Amino acid sequence: MNRLERFNSSEGLMGHLAVIGLGAMGRAIARNLVEAGHDVVVWNRSPGPVAALEALGATPAATLADALATPVVLSVLSDDAAVADLFLDSGALASATPGAIHANLATVSPELAARAARAHRDHGLEYVSAPVFGRVPVAEAGALTVMAAGSRTALTALEPYFAVIGNRTWRMGDDPAVANVSKILGNYLVASAIQALSEAVAVGESAGLDPQQLVDLLTSTLFPGPVYSGYGSMIASRSYLPAGFTTTLGAKDVHLALDTASSLGIDLPLGEVLGDVFARALAAGHADQDWASVADLMPRRA
Protein backbone atom coordinates (compact mmCIF):
# COMPACT_ATOMS: atom_id res chain seq x y z
CA MET A 1 0.00 0.00 0.00
CA ASN A 2 1.53 3.32 -1.03
CA ARG A 3 1.33 6.50 1.02
CA LEU A 4 -1.59 7.96 -0.93
CA GLU A 5 -3.58 4.74 -0.43
CA ARG A 6 -2.79 4.83 3.29
CA PHE A 7 -4.09 8.41 3.46
CA ASN A 8 -7.46 7.19 2.24
CA SER A 9 -7.55 3.98 4.29
CA SER A 10 -9.33 3.58 7.58
CA GLU A 11 -6.06 3.69 9.54
CA GLY A 12 -5.41 7.29 8.48
CA LEU A 13 -2.41 9.45 9.35
CA MET A 14 -2.09 12.49 11.53
CA GLY A 15 -0.91 15.61 9.77
CA HIS A 16 -1.49 14.66 6.15
CA LEU A 17 -2.63 17.18 3.63
CA ALA A 18 -2.30 18.27 0.02
CA VAL A 19 -0.62 21.34 -1.46
CA ILE A 20 -2.02 22.33 -4.85
CA GLY A 21 -0.17 24.89 -6.96
CA LEU A 22 3.61 24.64 -6.87
CA GLY A 23 4.90 27.96 -8.04
CA ALA A 24 7.72 29.52 -6.05
CA MET A 25 5.49 30.15 -3.03
CA GLY A 26 3.74 26.79 -3.20
CA ARG A 27 7.03 24.91 -3.47
CA ALA A 28 8.42 26.66 -0.40
CA ILE A 29 5.26 25.99 1.60
CA ALA A 30 5.11 22.33 0.61
CA ARG A 31 8.80 21.79 1.35
CA ASN A 32 8.50 23.29 4.84
CA LEU A 33 5.52 21.07 5.62
CA VAL A 34 7.41 17.98 4.44
CA GLU A 35 10.47 18.93 6.46
CA ALA A 36 8.27 19.49 9.53
CA GLY A 37 7.19 15.85 9.34
CA HIS A 38 3.76 16.19 7.76
CA ASP A 39 2.69 13.74 5.08
CA VAL A 40 2.18 15.96 2.08
CA VAL A 41 0.50 15.14 -1.22
CA VAL A 42 1.43 17.54 -4.02
CA TRP A 43 -0.23 18.34 -7.33
CA ASN A 44 0.63 20.84 -10.04
CA ARG A 45 -0.33 21.27 -13.67
CA SER A 46 3.32 20.95 -14.75
CA PRO A 47 5.34 17.98 -13.43
CA GLY A 48 8.71 19.59 -12.69
CA PRO A 49 7.96 20.97 -9.21
CA VAL A 50 6.18 17.73 -8.27
CA ALA A 51 9.27 15.65 -9.02
CA ALA A 52 11.50 17.95 -6.99
CA LEU A 53 9.22 17.72 -3.96
CA GLU A 54 8.82 13.96 -4.35
CA ALA A 55 12.59 13.71 -3.95
CA LEU A 56 12.20 15.44 -0.58
CA GLY A 57 9.51 13.03 0.59
CA ALA A 58 6.22 14.41 -0.73
CA THR A 59 3.70 12.11 -2.42
CA PRO A 60 2.70 13.06 -5.97
CA ALA A 61 -0.99 12.94 -6.77
CA ALA A 62 -1.74 11.58 -10.23
CA THR A 63 -4.81 13.78 -10.57
CA LEU A 64 -6.40 16.78 -8.92
CA ALA A 65 -9.10 14.43 -7.61
CA ASP A 66 -6.43 12.39 -5.81
CA ALA A 67 -5.09 15.53 -4.16
CA LEU A 68 -8.58 16.51 -3.07
CA ALA A 69 -9.04 13.14 -1.39
CA THR A 70 -7.01 14.38 1.59
CA PRO A 71 -8.71 15.87 4.66
CA VAL A 72 -6.86 19.19 4.37
CA VAL A 73 -5.96 21.03 1.16
CA LEU A 74 -3.82 24.16 0.86
CA SER A 75 -3.97 25.80 -2.56
CA VAL A 76 -1.45 28.39 -3.69
CA LEU A 77 -2.70 29.79 -6.99
CA SER A 78 -2.26 33.11 -8.76
CA ASP A 79 -5.69 34.73 -9.13
CA ASP A 80 -9.48 34.43 -9.32
CA ALA A 81 -9.40 32.74 -12.71
CA ALA A 82 -7.04 29.98 -11.58
CA VAL A 83 -9.06 29.24 -8.43
CA ALA A 84 -12.36 29.24 -10.33
CA ASP A 85 -10.95 27.05 -13.10
CA LEU A 86 -9.52 24.38 -10.80
CA PHE A 87 -12.08 24.26 -8.01
CA LEU A 88 -15.35 25.88 -8.97
CA ASP A 89 -15.92 25.36 -12.68
CA SER A 90 -14.33 21.93 -13.11
CA GLY A 91 -16.61 19.86 -10.88
CA ALA A 92 -13.55 18.85 -8.85
CA LEU A 93 -15.17 19.60 -5.49
CA ALA A 94 -17.43 16.58 -5.97
CA SER A 95 -14.38 14.33 -5.52
CA ALA A 96 -13.26 15.94 -2.25
CA THR A 97 -13.52 14.08 1.04
CA PRO A 98 -16.74 15.09 2.87
CA GLY A 99 -15.90 17.47 5.69
CA ALA A 100 -12.47 18.28 4.24
CA ILE A 101 -10.99 21.73 4.72
CA HIS A 102 -9.70 23.79 1.81
CA ALA A 103 -7.51 26.75 2.75
CA ASN A 104 -7.00 29.06 -0.22
CA LEU A 105 -3.78 31.06 0.17
CA ALA A 106 -4.27 33.05 -3.04
CA THR A 107 -4.98 36.77 -3.20
CA VAL A 108 -8.46 36.74 -4.71
CA SER A 109 -11.42 39.08 -4.78
CA PRO A 110 -13.97 39.08 -1.95
CA GLU A 111 -16.58 38.11 -4.54
CA LEU A 112 -14.62 35.01 -5.54
CA ALA A 113 -14.14 34.12 -1.87
CA ALA A 114 -17.88 34.36 -1.24
CA ARG A 115 -18.61 32.21 -4.29
CA ALA A 116 -16.03 29.64 -3.23
CA ALA A 117 -17.43 29.48 0.29
CA ARG A 118 -20.92 28.79 -1.07
CA ALA A 119 -19.67 26.11 -3.46
CA HIS A 120 -17.70 24.33 -0.75
CA ARG A 121 -20.63 24.49 1.65
CA ASP A 122 -22.89 22.94 -1.02
CA HIS A 123 -20.46 20.00 -1.22
CA GLY A 124 -20.19 19.56 2.56
CA LEU A 125 -16.71 21.10 2.69
CA GLU A 126 -15.07 23.82 4.78
CA TYR A 127 -13.58 26.80 2.95
CA VAL A 128 -11.02 29.09 4.56
CA SER A 129 -9.42 32.17 3.00
CA ALA A 130 -5.82 32.33 4.17
CA PRO A 131 -3.82 34.83 2.10
CA VAL A 132 -0.31 35.62 3.29
CA PHE A 133 2.11 38.52 3.56
CA GLY A 134 5.66 37.71 2.55
CA ARG A 135 7.75 37.16 -0.56
CA VAL A 136 9.37 33.88 -1.58
CA PRO A 137 12.39 34.17 0.79
CA VAL A 138 9.96 34.73 3.67
CA ALA A 139 7.99 31.65 2.62
CA GLU A 140 11.21 29.65 2.41
CA ALA A 141 12.02 30.70 5.96
CA GLY A 142 8.57 29.65 7.19
CA ALA A 143 7.94 33.21 8.35
CA LEU A 144 4.82 34.24 6.44
CA THR A 145 2.03 36.22 8.06
CA VAL A 146 -1.24 34.35 7.56
CA MET A 147 -4.60 36.11 7.53
CA ALA A 148 -7.24 33.42 7.97
CA ALA A 149 -11.03 33.60 7.98
CA GLY A 150 -13.52 30.77 8.17
CA SER A 151 -15.25 28.67 10.79
CA ARG A 152 -13.61 28.43 14.20
CA THR A 153 -13.40 24.65 13.85
CA ALA A 154 -11.60 24.84 10.52
CA LEU A 155 -9.17 27.51 11.71
CA THR A 156 -8.28 25.45 14.75
CA ALA A 157 -7.67 22.37 12.60
CA LEU A 158 -5.37 24.40 10.33
CA GLU A 159 -3.24 25.83 13.14
CA PRO A 160 -0.51 23.13 13.03
CA TYR A 161 0.06 23.78 9.33
CA PHE A 162 -0.06 27.55 9.55
CA ALA A 163 2.46 27.35 12.41
CA VAL A 164 4.91 25.68 10.02
CA ILE A 165 4.54 28.10 7.12
CA GLY A 166 4.22 31.31 9.13
CA ASN A 167 5.31 33.11 12.25
CA ARG A 168 1.84 34.43 13.08
CA THR A 169 -1.73 33.68 12.09
CA TRP A 170 -4.29 36.46 12.37
CA ARG A 171 -7.85 35.20 12.76
CA MET A 172 -9.88 37.73 10.79
CA GLY A 173 -13.37 36.33 11.43
CA ASP A 174 -15.73 33.69 10.13
CA ASP A 175 -16.43 35.27 6.72
CA PRO A 176 -13.69 34.12 4.31
CA ALA A 177 -14.03 37.26 2.19
CA VAL A 178 -12.71 39.56 4.93
CA ALA A 179 -9.31 37.86 4.95
CA ASN A 180 -8.96 38.67 1.28
CA VAL A 181 -9.94 42.29 1.91
CA SER A 182 -7.14 42.57 4.50
CA LYS A 183 -4.60 41.16 2.03
CA ILE A 184 -5.80 43.42 -0.79
CA LEU A 185 -5.49 46.49 1.41
CA GLY A 186 -2.01 45.46 2.52
CA ASN A 187 -0.85 45.11 -1.07
CA TYR A 188 -2.53 48.41 -1.95
CA LEU A 189 -0.41 50.13 0.69
CA VAL A 190 2.75 48.42 -0.60
CA ALA A 191 1.96 49.64 -4.13
CA SER A 192 1.46 53.14 -2.72
CA ALA A 193 4.82 52.96 -0.94
CA ILE A 194 6.56 51.81 -4.12
CA GLN A 195 5.15 54.75 -6.08
CA ALA A 196 6.05 57.22 -3.32
CA LEU A 197 9.59 55.84 -3.20
CA SER A 198 9.84 56.02 -6.98
CA GLU A 199 8.94 59.69 -6.95
CA ALA A 200 11.26 60.55 -4.06
CA VAL A 201 14.23 58.74 -5.60
CA ALA A 202 13.64 60.32 -9.00
CA VAL A 203 13.61 63.84 -7.53
CA GLY A 204 16.56 63.19 -5.22
CA GLU A 205 18.69 61.65 -7.93
CA SER A 206 17.88 64.47 -10.34
CA ALA A 207 18.98 66.94 -7.67
CA GLY A 208 22.33 65.18 -7.29
CA LEU A 209 21.70 62.88 -4.34
CA ASP A 210 23.06 59.35 -4.33
CA PRO A 211 19.86 57.27 -4.59
CA GLN A 212 20.99 54.47 -2.28
CA GLN A 213 22.19 56.94 0.36
CA LEU A 214 18.83 58.69 0.18
CA VAL A 215 16.99 55.40 0.66
CA ASP A 216 19.28 54.47 3.56
CA LEU A 217 18.63 57.83 5.21
CA LEU A 218 14.86 57.61 4.86
CA THR A 219 14.56 53.97 5.90
CA SER A 220 16.82 54.27 8.93
CA THR A 221 14.96 57.31 10.27
CA LEU A 222 11.44 58.14 9.05
CA PHE A 223 10.37 54.90 7.36
CA PRO A 224 12.00 51.83 8.91
CA GLY A 225 10.81 48.39 7.89
CA PRO A 226 11.11 45.85 5.09
CA VAL A 227 8.76 47.53 2.60
CA TYR A 228 10.57 50.84 2.33
CA SER A 229 14.08 49.45 2.78
CA GLY A 230 13.65 46.45 0.47
CA TYR A 231 11.82 48.17 -2.35
CA GLY A 232 13.83 51.35 -1.88
CA SER A 233 17.07 49.48 -2.50
CA MET A 234 15.63 47.84 -5.59
CA ILE A 235 14.53 51.22 -6.95
CA ALA A 236 17.85 52.88 -6.14
CA SER A 237 19.84 50.15 -7.89
CA ARG A 238 17.30 49.53 -10.67
CA SER A 239 17.36 45.81 -9.81
CA TYR A 240 14.04 44.20 -10.69
CA LEU A 241 15.00 40.61 -11.46
CA PRO A 242 14.39 38.01 -10.30
CA ALA A 243 10.89 39.20 -9.49
CA GLY A 244 9.63 38.47 -6.01
CA PHE A 245 6.21 39.77 -7.03
CA THR A 246 5.59 40.72 -10.63
CA THR A 247 4.13 43.91 -12.05
CA THR A 248 1.34 41.80 -13.53
CA LEU A 249 0.34 40.61 -10.07
CA GLY A 250 0.73 44.11 -8.66
CA ALA A 251 -1.64 45.49 -11.30
CA LYS A 252 -4.13 42.76 -10.44
CA ASP A 253 -4.05 43.66 -6.74
CA VAL A 254 -4.41 47.39 -7.37
CA HIS A 255 -7.53 46.66 -9.38
CA LEU A 256 -8.81 44.35 -6.66
CA ALA A 257 -8.48 47.26 -4.22
CA LEU A 258 -10.29 49.61 -6.61
CA ASP A 259 -13.08 47.10 -7.22
CA THR A 260 -13.48 46.32 -3.51
CA ALA A 261 -13.69 50.01 -2.62
CA SER A 262 -16.13 50.69 -5.45
CA SER A 263 -18.42 47.88 -4.26
CA LEU A 264 -18.58 49.69 -0.90
CA GLY A 265 -19.22 53.12 -2.45
CA ILE A 266 -15.74 54.42 -1.61
CA ASP A 267 -13.47 56.30 -4.02
CA LEU A 268 -9.70 55.71 -3.97
CA PRO A 269 -8.09 58.75 -5.62
CA LEU A 270 -4.59 57.37 -5.09
CA GLY A 271 -5.77 54.01 -6.37
CA GLU A 272 -6.79 55.59 -9.67
CA VAL A 273 -3.27 56.99 -10.01
CA LEU A 274 -1.77 53.60 -9.22
CA GLY A 275 -4.01 51.91 -11.75
CA ASP A 276 -2.67 54.22 -14.44
CA VAL A 277 0.94 53.74 -13.28
CA PHE A 278 0.69 49.96 -13.44
CA ALA A 279 -1.07 50.04 -16.81
CA ARG A 280 1.79 52.14 -18.21
CA ALA A 281 4.37 49.82 -16.65
CA LEU A 282 2.77 46.79 -18.28
CA ALA A 283 2.68 48.59 -21.63
CA ALA A 284 6.36 49.49 -21.21
CA GLY A 285 7.36 45.83 -20.90
CA HIS A 286 7.70 45.44 -17.12
CA ALA A 287 5.08 42.69 -16.76
CA ASP A 288 7.48 39.97 -15.58
CA GLN A 289 9.79 42.22 -13.60
CA ASP A 290 9.34 42.94 -9.92
CA TRP A 291 6.57 45.45 -9.33
CA ALA A 292 9.18 47.89 -8.02
CA SER A 293 10.03 48.34 -11.71
CA VAL A 294 7.20 50.87 -12.00
CA ALA A 295 9.90 53.25 -10.75
CA ASP A 296 11.41 53.22 -14.25
CA LEU A 297 8.44 55.23 -15.46
CA MET A 298 9.90 58.18 -13.56
CA PRO A 299 12.65 60.26 -15.20
CA ARG A 300 16.00 59.05 -13.86
CA ARG A 301 19.55 60.24 -14.27
CA ALA A 302 21.51 58.16 -16.79
Q: Quick one: pLDDT at residue 300?
A: 83
pLDDT of residue 186 exceeding 70: yes
**Pick among 3.20.20.70, 1.10.3720.10, 1.10.287.3510, 1.10.1040.10: CATH of 181-297:** 1.10.1040.10
What are the residue boundaries of the structural domains of the chain, listed by start? 3-174, 181-297
Q: What is the pLDDT of residues 67-98, one digit of tens each?
A: 999 999 999 999 999 999 999 999 999 999 99
Task: Label residue 301 by pLDDT band (50, 70, 90).
Answer: confident
Tell me what the mean pLDDT of segment 248-268 comes to. Answer: 97
Q: Quick one: pLDDT at residue 12?
A: 40
Q: What is the pLDDT of residues 21-52, one digit of tens each?
A: 999 999 999 999 999 999 999 999 998 899 99
**Letter for the amino acid at 195?**
Q
Give the residue among 166, 168, 170, 163 at the shortest CA–CA distance from 38.
Answer: 163
Q: Quick one: pLDDT at residue 16?
A: 87
Q: Quick one: pLDDT at residue 302?
A: 60
Q: Quick one: pLDDT at residue 15?
A: 59
Q: What is the pLDDT of residues 215-257, one digit of tens each?
A: 999 999 999 999 999 999 999 999 999 999 999 999 999 999 9
| 3-174: in CATH 3.40.50.720 | yes
Handedness of CA 18, 24, 25, 30 (dihedral sign): positive
Q: Quick one: pLDDT at residue 14?
A: 40
Tell me what the mean pLDDT of segment 267-280 comes to. Answer: 98
Write the secondary structure of the chain as one string of H (helix), E (strand) and C (coil).
CCHHHHHCCCCCCCCEEEEECCCHHHHHHHHHHHHCCCEEEEECCCCHHHHHHHHHCCEECCCHHHHCCCCEEEECCCCHHHHHHHHHCCCHHHHCCCCCEEEECCCCCHHHHHHHHHHHHHCCCEEEECCEECCHHHHHCCCEEEEEECCHHHHHHHHHHHHHHEEEEEEEECCHHHHHHHHHHHHHHHHHHHHHHHHHHHHHHHCCCCHHHHHHHHHHCCCCCHHHHHHHHHHHHCCCCCCCCEHHHHHHHHHHHHHHHHHCCCCCHHHHHHHHHHHHHHHCCCCCCEHHHHHHHCCCCC
Q: Which residues are catalytic?
A: 183
Task: Label residue 13 by pLDDT band (50, 70, 90).
Answer: very low
Q: What percent of the chain has pLDDT over 70?
A: 95
Give the residue among 106, 237, 84, 241 at the shortest CA–CA distance from 176.
Answer: 106
pLDDT of residue 8 exceeding 90: no
Q: Quick one: pLDDT at residue 1?
A: 38
pLDDT of residue 2 exceeding 50: no
